Amino acid sequence: MHTRIISAATIGVDACLVDVEVDLSMGLMQFHVVGLPDAAIK
């Protein structure tokens, strides 16, 4: 099952678009961060 969520995050007084895509399937659990994640995620 593939789902796409569009949201927003605030950084100071600016708003940034956040696009999250999720794919749920049978098998081993995995987590991938694609793009330029913030240093807090590492």
Q: Would you say 20 and 7 are in contact if contact means Cβ atoms under 8 Å apart? A: yes
Domain boundaries, the chain: 1-27
Q: How far apart are CA 30 and CA 33, in angstroms?
A: 10
pLDDT, tens digit (0-9, with 9 covering 90-100), for 1-42: 788 889 998 988 988 898 888 888 887 887 777 777 667 665
- Per-residue confidence (pLDDT) for residue 6, from 0 to 100: 92
Diameter of the chain measured on Cα atoms: 42
pTM, 2 dp:
0.49
